[in-house]
Amino acid sequence: MKNIFRKLSIIFLTAVLVFTGCGQAAGGSAPAQESAPKEDTFVPRADDGRTVVGISMPDRLLERWNRDGYFLKEQFERSGFEVMLEYANNLIDTQISNLRDMINGGADLLVVTAVDGAAISGILEEAHRNGVRIIAYDRLIMNTDCVDYYVSFDNYQVGVLQAEYIIKALRLKSSRNVRNIEFVTGDPVDNNARYFYQGAFDTLKPYIDSGRLCVPSGQKGFYETATAQWSTDIAQQRVQIILNSYYPEGTRLDALLCANDSTALGAARAVISDYPGLNKVVITGQDADIANIYNILNGEQSMTVYKHLKRESVVTVSLGKDILEGNTPGENLIERAGWAFDCSYNTTDYNNGNKVVPSFLLHPIAITAENIEKELFETGYYGRNASGLIYAAK
Ligand code: BGC
């Protein structure tokens, strides 16, 4: 089967040169920044009798990447592909060497969550020259024509959900009280972090501008509020410094806008250790990591944003299969796949500096103490064992 698809795809590429490889976005999407599209030099790898998918994940420190890796590997294997799965320990050099091993190991498709979105264009160009297709998984890969597709959640909406929760919890629409907030945003080399920040900041901005919401530290910009490597410890230290410098006894902290659950854990620890106030500080998050689910249930964290990882992998596997079968998927993939969940095809919003990358986007949902049982447990996404310990369903 692979042979036929390969041949079809070569004929197709030679005849019309329209696939998404270097130079031009697919599916009638917005044009790349260059005025004249570059010639598409993509030629799929010669058939070696195997179809190999290389999956490059950033680290094992976060629950989610362990789950993503598991789901992707399992589904690609079930679809008959050989899989190479590697974790990069959050190190750029390790990720580049993992990708090189995958190219040398015969990968036909790379599914990559970049440690640093702007640091792997060189190795991806090498992959492309070797006839390897590339899907950016969850995080966009920047500054290269060689990324074919992007699969993720609506990252801007994640920040909007966090900010909307804060607006409601602090009654910013109705109350006249001035509230204090601090921002704990994500890793500046992860392209998603800026979307999360922007979604949240744009939503809170009217209240900041009107003086209803204050930022006593004055740290409001993306870079000054960023958390290297999404580290819990770095987030904790930064919030501790802010509390000790700007919240002398008596100054009330109302909310910590934390971009994800690893930063929220650090922020919650800092509040416990260094905040003398008696009010409950609203803390946001993202991912529904198990430690954070406990914190929501015990009141230490106020909300998280749940992203259904299995769906993200389902979309990626369908897309990967389609590409390897020589198709040029677009909106039509959503119709053909008939998934029982919403997914949008976006050809306007994810510009990686070289081109607008055609994107398949899923929809995140806000989880609070009020809806956590219904949304996470009754759905079966999480369960409790006989001792009441929470586990994530496979
Ligand atoms: C992901 C988040 C995750 C963060 C830290 C982001 O790119 O979208 O789900 O919490 O990375 O790993």
Count of domains for the chain: 2
Report whether residue 230 contacts ligand 1, using a CB cutoff of 6 Å.
yes
Report whether residue 6 contacts ligand 1, using a CB cutoff of 6 Å.
no
- Is it the case that residue 346 has pLDDT exceeding 90? yes
DSSP one-letter code for 377: I
Of residues 122 and 43, more confidently modeled? 122
Instruction: Give me the DSSP letters along 62-78.
Output: SHHHHHHHHHHHHHHHH
Report whether residue 288 contacts ligand 1, using a CB cutoff of 6 Å.
no
**Which ligand 1 atom is nearest residue 158's CA?**
8
Q: Which pLDDT belongs to residue 27?
A: 31
For residue 191, give its domain range. Answer: 155-286
Domain with 161 in it: what CATH number?
A: 3.40.50.2300
Report whether residue 227 contacts ligand 1, using a CB cutoff of 6 Å.
no
**Which ligand 1 atom is nearest residue 261's CA?**
10
Q: Whose CA is nearest to atom 6 of ligand 1?
A: 192
Q: Are residues 216 and 333 in the same domain?
A: no
Domain boundary among 228, 252, 286: 286
Q: Are residues 241 and 206 in the same domain?
A: yes
Q: Are residues 177 and 115 in the same domain?
A: no
Report whether residue 67 contacts ligand 1, using a CB cutoff of 6 Å.
no
Q: Is the dihedral of CA 235, 238, 239, 240 positive or negative?
A: positive
Q: Are residues 169 and 194 in the same domain?
A: yes
Q: Which pLDDT belongs to residue 14?
A: 36
Give a yes or no: residue 379 inside a domain. Answer: no
pLDDT in tens, 281-299: 999 999 999 999 999 999 9
Which pLDDT band, with edges at 50, 70 and 90, does 39 fall under? low
Query: Region 107-120: what's the mean pLDDT?
Result: 97
Give a yes or no: residue 378 inside a domain. Answer: no
Q: Are residues 254 and 327 in the same domain?
A: no
Report whether residue 139 contacts ligand 1, using a CB cutoff of 6 Å.
yes
Report whether residue 286 contacts ligand 1, using a CB cutoff of 6 Å.
yes
Give a yes or no: residue 10 inside a domain. Answer: no
Q: Are residues 171 and 257 in the same domain?
A: yes
Report whether residue 260 contacts ligand 1, using a CB cutoff of 6 Å.
yes
Q: Are residues 162 and 246 in the same domain?
A: yes
Give a yes or no: residue 130 inside a domain. Answer: yes
Token pair in block for residue 220: 């409001």
Query: Could you tell me if 350 and 140 are in contact, meaning their C-beta atoms sit under 8 angstroms apart?
Result: yes
Q: Which pLDDT belongs to residue 15?
A: 38
Centre of ligand 1 from the C-alpha of residue 9, in Å:
34
DSSP one-letter code for 138: S
pLDDT in tens, 54-68: 999 999 999 999 999
**Which ligand 1 atom is nearest residue 259's CA?**
10
Q: Which pLDDT belongs to residue 42?
A: 81
Report whether residue 287 contacts ligand 1, using a CB cutoff of 6 Å.
yes
Among 57, 63, 64, say which to mutate for ligand 1: greatest number of ligand atoms within 8 Å of CB. 64
Give a yes or no: residue 57 inside a domain. Answer: yes
Measured distance CA(281)–CA(279) in Å, rounded? 6
**Which ligand 1 atom is nearest residue 153's CA?**
8
Q: Are residues 163 and 258 in the same domain?
A: yes
Query: Helix/strand/coil (H, E, C) string of the chain?
Result: CHHHHHHHHHHHHHHHCCCCCCCCCCCCCCCCCCCCCCCCCCCCCCCCCCCEEEEEECCCCCHHHHHHHHHHHHHHHHCCCEEEEEECCCCHHHHHHHHHHHHHCCEEEEEECCCCCCCCHHHHHHHHHCCCEEEEECCCCCCCCCCCEEEEECHHHHHHHHHHHHHHHCCCCCCCCCEEEEEECCCCCCHHHHHHHHHHHHHHHHHHHCCCEECCCCCCCCCCCCCHHHCHHHHHHHHHHHHHHHCCCCCCCCEEEECCHHHHHHHHHHHHHHCCCCCCCEECCCCCCHHHHHHHHHCCCCEEEECCHHHHHHHHHHHHHHHHCCCCCCHHHHHHHCCCCCEEEECCCCECCCCECCEEEECCEEEECCCHHHHHHCCCCEEECCCCCEEECC
- Is it the case that residue 256 has pLDDT exceeding 80? yes
Q: Which pLDDT belongs to residue 215?
A: 98
Query: Could you tell me if 47 and 6 are in contact, meaning their C-beta atoms sit under 8 angstroms apart?
Result: yes
Among 230, 292, 307, 310, say which to mutate for ligand 1: greatest number of ligand atoms within 8 Å of CB. 230
pLDDT in tens, 114-141: 999 999 999 999 999 999 999 999 999 9
Average pLDDT score, the chain: 91
- Is it the case that residue 154 has pLDDT exceeding 80? yes
User: Three-state DSSP class for 289?
Assistant: coil
Report whether residue 62 contacts ligand 1, using a CB cutoff of 6 Å.
yes
